[in-house]
């Protein structure tokens, strides 16, 4: 099996202090996609330790430093790295990084289509503000780049915090969020197109059934976590050929509030190699 995990760490230093290393040691993913890294290459490498190939995009433009950053860390060799989502306005935003991963390293079997793994962190947005327009622009750029990657026959897996709950089953309090960013009709329509007309696969939903949940984000405030008042906004989105290899999905929800090391939980999928 090829185990791929994705998690918004909400700051890699804080996640490390709160207990991420124990999860990493127990889960032992082959590939882990990280969002909101908020650290340099050197810090990230030091925290992850030896044995990882790394693709990391740090934010370098005003307004993003210290609150973004995405990475793909792989136990398998990474043969190429790119961080251009295709729209100049997002260059240096630290919200998109691609890694071509050699999934056949050390194996005798003939290589199949190459695999590109993406870690993405979509803007939070805010309804009826320029921040929301920025979010829509990023989603449009993201869609175009996904289609471009898939066009040459490679397998594509896009992992990360998309900051959109697709359906009512993807958040507990959907009635109270109909006019809020993250559950707006326009945002949901984007995902409708991805998982419908364009043929991308929401891997966790395809394996988990109709829901509700499994949720992947809960506010730090109040009793949202204890009451499981969550959102499913973290995805593994696959091209069809790679999605067909998915055999098991889980959200590694912490046993208790005190044991959380991020406000997000890791989304983990096992794929047949």
Would you please indicate which residues are annotated as catalytic (active-site) residues? 161
Query: Which residue(s) pair with 235 in the sheet?
Result: 160
Q: In angstroms, rounded to a whole number, what is the distance separating the alpha carbons of residues 78 and 112? A: 16
CA atoms within 13 A on the CB side of 66: 2
Distance CA 194, CA 116 (A): 18
Structure tokens at 174: 């959907």
Cis ω for the linkage preceding 15 (within 30 of 0): no
d(CA 123, CA 180): 14
Query: Which residue, among 230, 238, 70, has the nearest Cα to 165 in the 3D structure?
Result: 230
Q: Evaluate the CA torsion angle 241, 244, 245, 251 in order and state its sign.
A: positive
> What CA–CA distance (Å, rounded) separates 237 from 117?
10
User: Are the beta carbons of 57 and 92 closer than 8 angstroms?
Assistant: no
Max CA-CA distance within the chain?
54
Phi, psi at 136, each rounded to 5°: -60, -40
Q: In 10 A of CB 3, how many CB atoms?
A: 16
């Amino acid at each position: 099996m090829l185990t791929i995990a994705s998690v918004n760490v909400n700051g890699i230093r804080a996640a490390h202090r709160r207990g991420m290393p124990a999860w990493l040691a127990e889960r032992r993913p082959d590939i882990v996609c990280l969002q909101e890294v908020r650290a340099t290459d050197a810090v990230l490498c030091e925290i992850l330790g030896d044995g990882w190939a790394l693709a990391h995009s740090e934010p370098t433009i005003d307004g993003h430093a210290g609150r973004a950053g995405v990475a793909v860390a792989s136990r398998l060799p990474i043969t190429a790295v790119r961080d251009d989502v295709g729209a100049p306005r997002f260059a240096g935003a630290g919200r998109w990084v691609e890694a071509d991963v050699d999934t056949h390293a050390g194996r005798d079997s003939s290589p199949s289509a190459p695999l590109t793994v993406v870690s993405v962190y979509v803007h939070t947005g805010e309804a009826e503000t320029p921040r929301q327009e920025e979010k829509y622009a990023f989603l449009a750029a993201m869609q175009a780049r996904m289609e471009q990657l898939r066009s040459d026959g490679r397998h594509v897996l896009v992992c990360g915090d998309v900051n959109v709950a697709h359906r009512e089953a993807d958040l507990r309090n959907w009635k109270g969020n109909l006019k809020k960013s993250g559950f707006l009709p326009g945002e949901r329509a984007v995902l409708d197109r991805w998982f419908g007309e364009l043929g991308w696969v929401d891997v966790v939903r395809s394996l988990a059934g109709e829901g509700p949940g499994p949720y992947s984000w809960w506010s730090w405030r109040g009793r949202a976590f204890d009451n499981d008042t969550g959102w499913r906004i973290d995805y593994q989105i696959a091209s069809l050929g790679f999605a067909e290899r998915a055999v098991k999905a889980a959200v590694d929800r912490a046993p208790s509030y005190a044991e959380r090391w991020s406000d997000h939980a890791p989304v983990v999928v096992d794929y047949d190699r």
